[in-house]
Amino acid sequence: MDRIRIVGGNELHGVIPISGAKNAALPLMIASLLTDDTLTLENVPHLADVEQLIRILGNHGVDISVNGRRERQGESYARTIHFTCRNIVDTTAPYELVSKMRASFWVIGPLLAREGKARVSLPGGCAIGTRPVDLFIEGLQALSANIEIDSGYVNATAPAGGLIGARYTFPKVSVGATHVLMMAATLANGTTVLGNAAREPEVVDLANCLNAMGAKITGQGTATITIEGVRSLSGARHRVLPDRIETGTYAMAVAMTGGDVILEDTDMALLDTALEAIRRAGAEITPTNSGIRVVRNGAGIKPVDIVTDPFPGFPTDLQAQFMGLMTKSNGVSHITETIFENRFMHVQELARLGAKISLSGQTAKIEGVSRLKGAPVMATDLRASVSLVIAGLAAEGETMVSRVYHLDRGFERLEEKLTRCGAHVERVSD
């Protein structure tokens, strides 16, 4: 099993290319089930989750071809992938596939919309909380789907004439459920209005792609999304937006170590709240023609309090990384997690490096320390794993991060990108 070895103490200087967003690529790939034409997606990151979803879509009958790699310094950092689903050959998403990646449950929307039926395994819990699918089921029922849960599977059927547009207001904001209902509603009869919808850039990206395919969606990026159903969708070509979580992660890495780095092929507008928090911590962040410049010269890291919230608030997917940054602040900071329960599992691993963190309910109190010391640590989930990398970059001596398969789910070539900016980071295979 691979591990990541980090020797801390080096500033970061150079250019880091930002990959396409995993959280946008996955629903965009699933949208290929809605049409028998070809959907071409550019800027698709090469990640374990993307590869797993390719296998899942293949199970449903999607033909997939990869070409048009964009080369950078001899390495491929993005892919163009063509998805063609002439016929859906299987409307069942089995447990052995869905259990490996929660987002694969989202196929229920397109399968139900196009084929009128779907049998999809319940995804079960995960390391950062239970994340139930109640909102998905309630929303599809609002579109007149008949749903029964039996033997761990959601069995859904549409009326004889197809799903029927309706008004549905989410009891709480859910990115995944917004993706699913928006896709399902594109082929429904009549108009669907989704209230309290997620406003994340990835939701907007999916809506823009669906519109390019012939859907009629308005209001994306606001709390009310309106979808006027159409008879069918066509193919399209769409570029996956930059990964705002990767952008924020590398910005925090520079704030942690000091240095001067250009984050290329990204956009400040995707994560204003997070970048403002990093500025308050002491980094200078400015837009450039190619992306974002992040600089921290010598000054200490200032303590900053944050609360995670749905977009445009501070992203829960950057909470662990920001905690890693705050471990070396020159004071006391507080981080309150409001999105997921059980998302502080990285606290004990950061403590192994010398961090001083205490928990009280949903809030972590971080007392900054002057020095961290390298140690063996274990990744518990995707975002927690990269928080350990950030801390390791500033720790004295060697940090060895195990279970890096979590990192491979969401960060493309992390060790290569950091090494090119002067970090001492390498992958070690046992």
Structure token pair of residue 232: 């069918």
Contact 200, 225 (CB under 8 A): no
Asked if the model's pLDDT at residue 69 lies above 60, the reply is no
Span 67-79, average pLDDT: 56
Contact 162, 116 (CB under 8 A): yes
Q: Which fold has domain 22-239?
A: UDP-n-acetylglucosamine1-carboxyvinyl-transferase; Chain (3.65.10)
Kindly give the pairing relationship between strand 63-67 and strand 79-84.
antiparallel
Band (pLDDT 50/70/90 cuts) for residue 77 is: low
Q: Do the annotations mark residue 94 as ligand-binding?
A: no
Strands (E), 126-195: 146-150, 153-157, 167-169, 191-195
Predicted pLDDT of residue 128: 36
Q: Do the annotations mark residue 53 as ligand-binding?
A: no
Band (pLDDT 50/70/90 cuts) for residue 404 is: confident
Q: Do the annotations mark residue 173 as ligand-binding?
A: yes
Asked if the model's pLDDT at residue 61 lies above 70, the reply is yes
Q: Do the annotations mark residue 317 as ligand-binding?
A: yes
Look at residues 26, 19, 106, 2 and name the one whose alpha carbon lies nearest to residue 69.
19
Q: Do the annotations mark residue 131 as ligand-binding?
A: yes
The sign of the torsion formed by the CA atoms of 383, 385, 391, 392 equals negative
Q: Do the annotations mark residue 240 as ligand-binding?
A: no
Residues 6+ away with beta carbon under 8 Å from 215: 186, 207, 227, 230, 233
Q: Do the annotations mark residue 132 as ligand-binding?
A: yes
CATH topology identical between 2-18+242-429 and 22-239: yes
**Which residue out of 85, 126, 209, 421 is catalytically annotated?**
126
Contact 218, 37 (CB under 8 A): no
Quote the CA–CA distance of 423 and 74 in Å, as a whole number: 20
Annotation says 85 is catalytic: no
Look at residues 36, 4, 2, 8 and name the one whose alpha carbon lies nearest to residue 253.
8
Contact 105, 93 (CB under 8 A): yes
Start-to-end Cα distance in the chain: 6
Contact 253, 247 (CB under 8 A): no
Band (pLDDT 50/70/90 cuts) for residue 406 is: confident
Give the residue carrying structure tokens 């720790």: 395
Domain ranges for the chain: 2-18+242-429, 22-239
Q: Do the annotations mark residue 417 as ligand-binding?
A: no
Higher-pLDDT residue of 175, 385: 175
Asked if the model's pLDDT at residue 73 lies above 70, the reply is no
Residues 357-372 pLDDT 10s: 999 999 999 999 999 9
The sign of the torsion formed by the CA atoms of 1, 57, 239, 183 equals negative
Q: Do the annotations mark residue 88 as ligand-binding?
A: no
Structure token pair of residue 358: 């205490």
pTM exceeds 0.75, yes or no: yes
C-alpha distances out from residue 265 to 15, 21, 174, 181, 284, Å: 10, 11, 27, 30, 18
Give the residue carrying structure tokens 């979590």: 406
Phi-psi region of 43 (alpha: psi -120 to 50; beta: other; left: phi over 0): left
- On average, the pLDDT of the chain sits at 93
Look at residues 101, 162, 100, 174 and name the one whose alpha carbon lies nearest to residue 137.
174
Contact 359, 385 (CB under 8 A): no
Residues 6+ away with beta carbon under 8 Å from 134: none
Q: Which fold has domain 2-18+242-429?
A: UDP-n-acetylglucosamine1-carboxyvinyl-transferase; Chain (3.65.10)
Quote the CA–CA distance of 202 and 3 in Å, as a whole number: 30
Contact 148, 197 (CB under 8 A): no
Q: Do the annotations mark residue 146 as ligand-binding?
A: no
Predicted pLDDT of residue 383: 74
Quote the CA–CA distance of 336 and 281 in Å, as a whole number: 17
Residues 96-134 pLDDT 10s: 888 888 889 999 999 999 999 999 998 864 443 445 789
Quote the CA–CA distance of 90 and 370 in Å, as a whole number: 57
Asked if the model's pLDDT at residue 219 lies above 50, the reply is yes
Quote the CA–CA distance of 249 and 325 in Å, as a whole number: 10
Angle between helices 175-186 and 134-142 (to 10 degrees): 30
CA angle 227, 231, 235 (to 5 degrees): 85
Quote the CA–CA distance of 143 and 135 in Å, as a whole number: 13
